[in-house]
Structure formats: structure tokens, C-alpha cells
Structure 1
Amino acid sequence: MLIVQNIRLSRILRNTWQVDIIMIISCTAAYLLRTFLFKHHFEVPAIIPTVLGTAIAFFVGFNNNQSYDRWWEARKIWGGLVNDSRSWARSVTSYLTQNDMSDEEFDALKRRMVNRHIAFLYALKANLRSATDETYHLYLDQHEDIETNLHTNVPNAILNLQSWELEQLSRKGMIDGFRFMEMNQLIVKFCDGMGMSERIKNTIFPTTYNYFTKIFIWLFVVSLTLVISQYAGPASIFLGWLVGFVYVSTQINGMSLVNPFENNSSAIPLNQITRGIEINLLEMIGAKDIPDPVKPINGEYVL
């Protein structure tokens, strides 16, 4: 996620240079065609780029709105996971009754349940980014690690372990019925957050919207150059590119939000969010080896 107010020109050019070259070539070709071919036969009506520009503005605006909706929904889901994760650790440290357990066993139980949740978050993050992240192994016991690796959906398997242990605690009388329901509801919320995140990741933004927007922008740039070349001469190549650059940059900006869980500067900062939860939960159980927060890359964005 970008954290700076102003975007560097180098970043803009890095994201658009290929399209810029295509537009410059298209504008140059349109200018040459109009100068040496169309000029002596007919003039392109100005109404054509006017209508195309208006239509493209609606297309780009719709695409960007839908893209931002996906991004913002993903951010709200993970914001909910942050709050519920803290509530889970607070419940573990406050609701459980020690009974006949020793202090060491009771502390180990609370650490295990909190660590298991941290493992769930790291496993979910790895699934959403389709990346390999071995961090979650560090927070699981050996037998739990082996068991979860037998499942295709590791975070879901970790939630199964949480539910099973919570049920065992209820049977042993270490948690009363009301508090059991509250903690079980938190596990349900974790499952809901996981499912909603997977829905966003696995639902592909309609390809036709992006494809036709690119085609329409190209037609608009060409037709605009054909029209203004009769007034601006060779400068129409630059003017055509300049107007097209505005549309293309706006469209690329929107499309960069379509997949909010990708590992890039425009996506949700899952590394930062997960690490923040990890730090909070470890502090709540009195852990000593607390990792450092995720730092911005080049002071520009966080992942």
C-alpha cells in the first residue's frame, strides 16, 4: 500500500512506458495517414473523438469504482481480523480456568492457542498471495504442523484444531458455556473473514471491461490525433499522447486495485497487518522475542 502523498515520476513511467510507446506510435501513424492520405479526400468529424471520450470516461469510472470496492472490502475484512484477533488473545488469557493444571501447563496452553492463531494468519496470507511463507510453521507444534500439511487449505485446518481444543476445554470445565460460545463465535468470524478473502481472490474481475477499455482508449487517441492534426500539425502527436496518457494512467491506477491481495505496492499491506497482529498477541501473552514492525520500502510503500 502506498503511504506517500506524491508518487514519483519514475514510478508512473515504469508503469506506463509500454503503453506510452504504443500511443506515440499510433499517434504518429494517425498523423502521417491524415497528412498524406486522408487530407485530400475527407476530414474526420470532431464528433467521433468527442463521443468516444465521453464513453471511455464512463467505462474508466465504472472500472475504477468496482476496483476500489474490491480493495476497500478486502481492507475492511482484514481490519475485522485485527480486532477479532485481539479479542481472541484477550479471551484466551482471561476466560480460561486453570483447574488442576500446573502454572507451566496452563501458560503453555494459552501460548499454544495464541500461537496457533498467529499461524492461521500467516497461512491465510500465504494462501491469498499464492506465495510460499514458512512462518506459520514456527507457531505450530510438530504434530499440528504435520496434521495441517495433510490439508489443501491449511488455515482452515488450523481453525479445526482451535475448535477441537476449545471443545476439550469445555468438556474439562475450564471454560463455562457462555464464554465458550463467545470464543467459538470468534472462530466463526475468523472463518467468515477467510471465506470472504478467498471470494475476492478467486473472483476474477470481468476481462471484457479491461479489454474493451484499452481498445476504446486506442481508438479515441487515434481519432483525436486525426482531428487535431489539421490545426496543430506535428504537435498533434504530442497532444494526442498527452490526452491518451490521462485516460491510460487513470485506467491503470484502477486496475492496480483489482487484486487487493497481490504482493505489490497497491495491494493491501498483509505483511504489515499480520506482523502488527503478531506483535500485539505476543505482548498479550508475555512473550519475550517480539519481532520488529514491518518497515516501509524506500519510504514509499508497505507490503
Structure 2
Amino acid sequence: MLIGKNIKLSRILINTWQVDIIMIVSCSITYFAREFLITHNLDIPAIIPGVLGTAIAFFIGFNNNQAYDRWWEARKIWGSLVNDSRSWARSLLSYVEENAETKELVRKMICQHIAFLYTLKGALRNYDDKIYTKYLSIQELEEIGKQSNQHNAILNIQSRELQLLSKKGYIDGFRFIQLNQLLVNFTDHMGRSERIKNTVFPTTYSYLTKVFIWLFVVSITLVISPYLEYWSIFIGWLVGFVFVSTQINGMSLINPFENNSAAIPLNQITRTIEINLLEMLGETDIPAPVKPVNEEYVL
């Protein structure tokens, strides 16, 4: 997630340089075709780029709006995960009857939840950093290794542990319901995250927007070339650059769980929860917070 107040021009050019080259080449070909191949008596109506520009504005506006909705929903999901994770640890530490057996069991259940967060993050980003392995026993690692959805398997383990606490009378029925509701919340957050990741944004919207931008750049170069001559190449690229930059900015939010500067900072959020829960357990070996990259963004 970008945290800087300003964006470096180099970062913009890194994201757009390929499209910029294509637009410059298109504008150049259009200008020289207008000068040497197309008769000067052929006048292109100015209404053509005007209509195309209006259509592009609608497409880009729709795309960016939908992209931001996906990004903001993802951020709300993980914001809720932060709150419910803290409530899970606090409830276990406060509600469960304290003795030698339950103290170790509560610690294990809180560590299992940290592992759940890391496995969920890994699944959303298609990257397994194996951090979760230090929070699970060998038997638990073997059990979740047999299932394709490891984070869901961890929730199954936690349900069994919670049931064990209830059977042994370490928590009453009311507190059991409260803790079980948090497990239901974790399942809901997990499912909503998976829905966003697995739902592909309609490619036709992005594709048609790119086609319209290309047609717009060509048409506006044709219209202004009789008046500005070779400067029409620069003006055509400049106008197209505005549309392209706006469109790319929106498309960068389409997949909010990707490991890039515009995505949700899953590393930072997961590490924050990990630190909070370990501090609640009274642990001393606590990892450092995730730091911003070049003071520009956090992952």
C-alpha cells in the first residue's frame, strides 16, 4: 500500500513506459500517414475524438470505481480480522479457567491462530513463506499438509480444541458460544477474501478501454496534425498519457492481495496481529514490525 504523499515520476514511467512507446509510435505513424499518404482534402471531424474521449471517460470511471470497491472491501475484511484476532486472544486468556493444563492449551490455540493468518496470507498471495510452521506442532503440520486449504484445516483444529475446553468444563456455555462465533467470523473473513481473489474482473472492460484509448490517440493526432504539424505527435501522446495513467492506476487495485505497492499490506497487517498476540501471551521473542520500502509503500 502506498503511504507517501507524492509519487515519483520514475514510478509512473516504470508502469507506463511500454504503453508510452506504443502511443508515440502510433502518433508518429498517424502523422506521417496524414502528411504523405492521405490527401490533405480529407478533414477528420473533431467530433470523433470528442465522442471517443467521452466513451473512454465512462469506461475508465467504471473500471476505477469497481477496482477501488474491491480494494476497499479487502481492506475492511483484514481490518475486521485484526479486531477479531485480538478479541480471540483476549477471550481465551480471560474466559478460560486458568490452570497448568489450560495455560498451555490457550497458548497453543493463540499460536494456531497466528499460523492461520500466515497460511491465509500465503494462499491469497500465492507465496508460502513458511512462517506458520513455527506456530504449529509436527502433528498439526502433518494434518494440514493433507488438505488443499490449510487455513481452513487450522480452523478445524481450533474448533476441536474449543470443544475440548467446553467438555472439560473450563468454559461455560455462554463463553463457548462467544468464542465459537469468533471462529465463524474467521471463516467468513476467509471466504470473503477468497471470493475477491478468485473472482476475475471482466477482461472485456479493460480490453475495450485500451482499444478506445488507442483509437482516441490516433484520431486526435489526425485532427490536430494540420494545425500543429509534427507537434501533433507530442500532443497526441500527452493526451493519451493522461488516459493511460488513469486507467493503469485503477487497474493496479483490481487484485488487492497481490504482492505489489498498490495492494493491501498483508505482511504488515499479519505481523501487527502476530506482535499483538505474542505480547498478550507475555512472550519475549517478538518479531520486528514490517517497515516501509523506501518510505514509499508497505507490503
Structure 2 length-normalised TM: 0.99
Q: Per-residue CA shift, 1:78-129, capped at 9, x if unaligned?
A: 000000000000001000013xx43xx3321121010000000000000000
How far is the alpha carbon of 1:36 from its aligned partner? Answer: 1.1
Equivalents in 1 of 2:129, 2:187: separation in Å? Answer: 20
**Corresponding residue number in structure 2 for 1:30:** 30
Task: Encode CA deviations 1:168-219: one digit per residue, 9 max, x unaligned.
Answer: 1101100000000000000000000000000000000000000010000000
1:92 is aligned to: 92
Aligned pairs for 1:1-303 within 5 A: 1-98=1-98, 101-102=99-100, 105-303=101-299
Q: Which runs of 5+ in 2 are unaligned?
A: none
Mapped contact 1:97–1:174 kept (Cα < 8 A)? yes
CA distance in 1, matches of 2:296, 2:147: 38
Name the aligned partner's letter for residue 59 of structure 1: F
CA displacement at 1:40 relative to structure 2: 2.9
CA contact (8 A) 1:121 1:274 kept: yes
Q: Secondary structure at the match of 1:258?
A: coil
User: Deviation digits for residues 145-187 of structure 1, max 9, x if unmatched?
Assistant: 1111111000000000000110111011000000000000000
**Cα deviation 1:216-240 (Å, max 9, x = unaligned):** 0000000000001111110000000
TM-fit CA distance, 1:74 = 0.2
Number of matched pairs: 299
User: Equivalents in 2 of 1:126, 1:37: separation in Å?
Assistant: 56
Deviation at 1:132, TM superposition (A): 1.7
Distance in 2 between residues matched to 1:246 and 1:42, nearest whole Å: 28
Q: Which letter maps to 1:63? A: N
What letter corresponds to residue 262 of structure 1 in structure 2?
E
Give the conservation status (yes or no) of the 8 Å contact 2:31–2:222: yes
Distance in 1 separating the partners of 2:4 and 2:183: 36
For residues 237 and 58 of structure 2, what CA distance do their matches in structure 1 show?
20
Letter paired with 1:66: Q
Question: What code does the residue aligned with 2:119 have?
Answer: A
Q: Which secondary structure state, in structure 2, belongs to the residue aligned with residue 38 of structure 1?
A: coil
Helix, strand or coil at the partner of 1:113: helix
* TM-score for both structures, normalised by structure 1: 0.97
Q: Is the 8 A contact 1:110 1:285 kept in 2?
A: no
> Offset at 1:38?
2.1
Structure 1 contact 128–201 (Cα < 8 Å) conserved: yes
- Identity fraction in percent: 69
Q: 1:282 Cα deviation (Å)?
A: 0.4
Runs of 4+ in 1 over 6 A off after TM superposition: none
1: CA distance between counterparts of 2:194 and 2:273?
20
Amino acid at match of 1:125: K
RMSD: 0.8
**Contact conserved, 1:115 with 1:139, CA < 8 A, in 2?**
yes
Cα distance in 1 between the residues matched to 2:32 and 2:210? 23
3-state SS in 2 of match to 1:15: helix
Q: Contact between 2:96 and 2:102, CA under 8 Å: does it hold in 1? A: no
Q: Does the Cα contact within 8 Å between 2:119 and 2:128 map onto a contact in 1?
A: no
Distance 1:61 1:175 in 2: 53
